Amino acid sequence: MSTTVYQVTGMTCGHCESAVTSELSALEGVTSVQAVAATGLVTVTSAAPLDDEAVRAAVDEAGYELAGRA
């Protein structure tokens, strides 16, 4: 298992958290996602390390910006 914490900008509410969680959960191998709008931190647990560009694309699809790993 691999757990990575990302910094995502633009999240302000529960709906934002839900949108980011939904997109990241769709990535292959992802087992859990915890997004916290108050801090902008998103913790992703997956079967194997994720490709940063795949994570960036998923966050972008949700309408937010991946600032990088926290």
Range 42-68 average pLDDT: 97
Please enumerate in sequence order all residues whose Cβ is within 8 A of that of 32, keeping only pairs 6 or more positions apart, or say none. Answer: 43, 44, 45
Domain with 60, as residue range(s), is 2-69
Q: Convert the pLDDT of each residue in 4-29 to its tens digit.
A: 999 999 999 999 999 999 999 999 99
CATH number at residue 7: 3.30.70.100
- Structurally, how many domains does the chain consist of? 1
Tokens linked to 2: 């691999």
Residue 17: alpha-carbon gap to chain centroid: 9
Say what the pLDDT of residue 16 is. 98
Range 22-46 average pLDDT: 98
Kindly state the percentage of the chain with pLDDT values over 90.
100
Q: Report the mean per-residue pLDDT for the chain.
A: 97
Q: What is the pTM of this model?
A: 0.96
